[in-house]
Amino acid sequence: MGIIDILIHQGKQYIPDLSKPVLPEIYRGLPHLSTKACGEGCNACVDICPTDAIVHTQGISLDLGKCVFCGECQSECPEQKIKFTNDYKIATNDRKRLVIAEGMTEGVKLDPDKVRAEIKQFFGGSLKLRQVSAGGDNADENELNACSNVNFDMGRYGIDWVASPRHADGMVISGPITEHMAEPVQICYDAIPFPKIIILAGTNAISGGIFEGTKSLNRSFLDKYPIDLYVPGYPPHPLTFINGVLAMIRK
């Protein structure tokens, strides 16, 4: 009886439509930057930002590839120019699209023209991914694991984690790529058969985050290959990851 009770009490755990959940208001996803003028000489957001994600020239712009979604800029700005929304669909294949400008109202999307033809051709119904943590802090890895748990269940779309790079169609890197992981990352990539993709999951993978520019990193791998998907977040939310991947592989 115990097991039956458990199953009944658990009910349906999966989220039926992963593009639909509404996260709490307080969740920090896509930011909106208003066009309101900054106060005279004010540079508060730039000064407080831990990762230099904000640039202030004519107006301000905010780079989601560097942002750790701490919300410090939002609470610091005297003009309330910065407002993080609960929009979690912020993955893209175009690095430039991660830079949010003032007055932008449409969300972050993939550039369909930049999705390589072989991705849709081969991976639309099945995508096997090898995850490599290269300095990831285990929040990243926990969220990537959650993508395949009973709630998010990305396996229903044919997207799965695999153990061997030989079985993989691509690689998902988390962490800023430490010096000591530079070689293993390369070896793993080389072992994946063509055609193959690279996904950067989380702020540290995309830009190095707070660790950017330090001597313990070696990000030279990223200069050699095209990146197929950037998934911002600190850590990246499973909904951001799965919706991003689906937008990339679906015809």
- Return d(Cα 244, Cα 236) in angstroms, integer: 11
Q: How many residues does the chain have?
A: 251
Check binding of 49 to ligand SF4 (CB under 6 A): yes
- Cβ contact 210:51 at 8 Å: yes
Query: Count of residues binding ligand SF4 (CB under 6 A)?
Result: 14
Residue 101 parent element (H or E)? strand 99-101
- Pick the piece of the chain touching another protein (CB under 8 A) from 47-55, 56-64, 96-104, 240-248: 47-55
Closest to another protein by CB, 76 or 87: 76
Identified binder of another protein from the candidate list 142, 158, 166, 226, rule CB under 8 A: 142
Closest to another protein by CB, 184 or 226: 184
Three-class secondary structure of residue 1 per DSSP? coil
Q: Per-residue x/- mask for ligand SF4, residues 52 to 91, rule CB under 6 A?
A: -xx-------x----xxxxxxx------------------
- Cβ contact 231:202 at 8 Å: yes
- Pick the piece of the chain touching another protein (CB under 8 A) from 33-41, 46-54, 97-105, 240-248: 46-54
Residue 96 Cβ vs another protein, minimum distance, rounded to whole Å = 25
Residue 240 parent element (H or E)? helix 238-249
62 binds, among ligand SF4, another protein, none (CB under 5 to 8 A by kind): ligand SF4
CA 148 from centroid of its chain's CA atoms: 16
User: Rounded to whole angstroms, what are the CA distances from 19 to 22, 30, 157, 193, 213?
Assistant: 9, 15, 13, 31, 36
Check binding of 206 to another protein (CB under 8 A): no
217-236 residues in contact with ligand SF4 (CB under 6 A) are: none
- Return d(Cα 56, Cα 96) in angstroms, integer: 17
213-242 residues in contact with another protein (CB under 8 A) are: 214-217, 234-235, 237
